[in-house]
Amino acid sequence: MAVFVISNPKGGSGKSTTGFHFIIALSKKLQSNRVLAVDFDMQGDLTDAFFPDVPIEEFDEANTFTVIKGETTFTESIRSTQGIDVLVASLELEDFGFYASKNQALVPKIGALVRNSSYEHVVIDTPGSGASEVISAFMGADYIIIPVKPTRWATRTIKRVLKKVK
């Protein structure tokens, strides 16, 4: 199993777009449905890329956050499309940091959940901000992909991401 985390603290850096295309490429290369996309960003751009005709509110009952809180199971929260399984986002992910500050056991939970799954490759899309979500995702990562536009200001964020990794 390989867990990839797409991260950059700068919004609009192309995290969700990079993640979407990376997931599609992995799925095609592997010719397998053993690829999981995890949308850990309350904006739900990765979820929207896979389910463009479904409002994010339709995923309120079963999603990444309900799994982390133990309200739904991993299996019942997965949606499938194009031969790819997606653990969809929810606007409620905005509250992850609050819940994690009250219950530190939630922080490593996403990593543990994906590690205990049967997927060959997992790609986790993280928010531009939201330190708790990013740290949680990093804890389960084998690889971190940092999309960066080649500008002076954008490249400064690489140091910030690497500091969190250490």
Report the DSSP beta bridge partners of residue 36.
85, 122
* Burial class of 139 by CB neighbour count within 10 A (0 to 12, 13 to 18, 19+): middle
- The topology (CATH level 3) of 2-165 is Rossmann fold (3.40.50)
Helix (H, G, I), strand (E, B) or coil at 145: strand
What confidence tens digit (pLDDT) does each residue in 72-108 have? 999 999 999 988 999 999 999 999 989 999 999 988 9
Could you tell me the pLDDT band of residue 67, with boundaries at 50, 70 and 90? very high
Write the Ramachandran bin of 15: left for phi over 0, alpha for psi from -120 to 50, otherwise beta. alpha
| pTM: predicted TM-score of the whole model, two decimal places | 0.90
